[in-house]
A and B are shown apart, each in its own frame.
Chain A
C-alpha cells in the first residue's frame, strides 16, 4: 500500500473526535465545519463561537508545522477552473445534504445516525467513482 500512515491517521482522527465531543460538551454544538461556516455566512445570531472555532482551525494550520506536522494543503492540481467547479459542488452539495465529512462522517457516525451514515456512504461512493473516472478513464 502506498503512503500508508495508520498511526498518525488514528491519532489525528482521535483528536478530531475529541474536538467534536468537547465542542458538544462546552457549546452544545456539532463540529460540522460546513454548517459552522454556513451559519457564519448567513446572518446568524450566534456568530462569535463560529468565528472562534474557525479561528482555531486556522491557528492550528499556522502553529502545527512548528511542531512538525505537515503543512496545510498543497494544490493537487494547477487547474483553477477545476477547483472552482469542485468548490461549487462541495459547497452546494454540503448545504443541500446538511453536512459534510465532519458533520456527517464524524459526528453523525459517532451518534449512530442512520441519516448521516447514509449520507457518508453516498458521498464516499460518489467520490470514489469520480476519482476512478477522472484518473483511470480519461
Chain B
C-alpha cells in the first residue's frame, strides 16, 4: 500500500514537472526541435534541470542497499549499443518530430 501511494506521488510530481516546464504542449517541444525556425531552447533547460537533480538524487539513492518500499533496485543492466537501440531511437525521433 505505501508503494502505491509513493508511486502515485512520484507520478504526480513528474506530471507537475511536465506541466510547469511546458513540455506537455506539443508546440513548445516542436519549438526546440525546429532548429532552423523560431527556435526555443527551453527543452534544453528542462533536460538540464532534470539531469542535474536526477543525477544528484540517483547518486544519493545508490548508497542504499535496497529501496524503501521494494525488495531490490531495478537498475538497467544493459550497457551495449546495438542496432535495435539505434533503429528504435531513429523511429522514435521521427515519430516525435512528426
Contacts and interface: CB of A to CB of B under 8 A. Distances in A.
Q: List the 10 shortest-distance A-B pairs measured between CB atoms, nearest first.
A: A56-B11, A12-B21, A21-B57, A60-B15, A126-B93, A13-B49, A97-B88, A89-B95, A130-B97, A96-B88
19 contacts: A10-B49, A13-B49, A17-B52, A24-B73, A26-B68, A53-B11, A60-B11, A72-B19, A95-B88, A97-B91, A97-B92, A107-B58, A118-B89, A124-B33, A126-B90, A126-B96, A127-B94, A130-B93, A130-B98
Contacts of A11: 17, 20-21, 49
Contacts of A113: 76, 79
Interface in A36-85: 48-50, 52-61, 64-65, 69-76, 82, 85
Contacts of A71: 19, 24
Nearest to A86: B98
Contact of A18 (B13, B45, B66): B13
Given A70-B22, A132-B35, A96 B91 contact: yes
Given A10-B45, A13-B46, A13-B49, A26 B92 contact: no
Given A29-B74, A130-B33, 10 more contacts: A3-B31, A3-B38, A12-B23, A54-B11, A76-B30, A90-B95, A97-B86, A124-B93, A126-B92, A135-B37
Nearest to B2: A26
Contacts of B40: 1-4
Interface of B: 3-28, 30-31, 33-58, 60-61, 64, 66-76, 78-81, 84-98
Interface of A: 1-6, 8-31, 48-50, 52-61, 64-65, 69-76, 82, 85-98, 100-102, 104-115, 118-120, 122-132, 134-136
A106 B3 CA distance: 22
B interface secondary structure, majority: helix
Contacts of A115: 78-81, 85
A35 to B, nearest CB: 9
A93 B92 CA distance: 4
Nearest to A94: B92
Contacts of A100: 92
Nearest to A118: B81
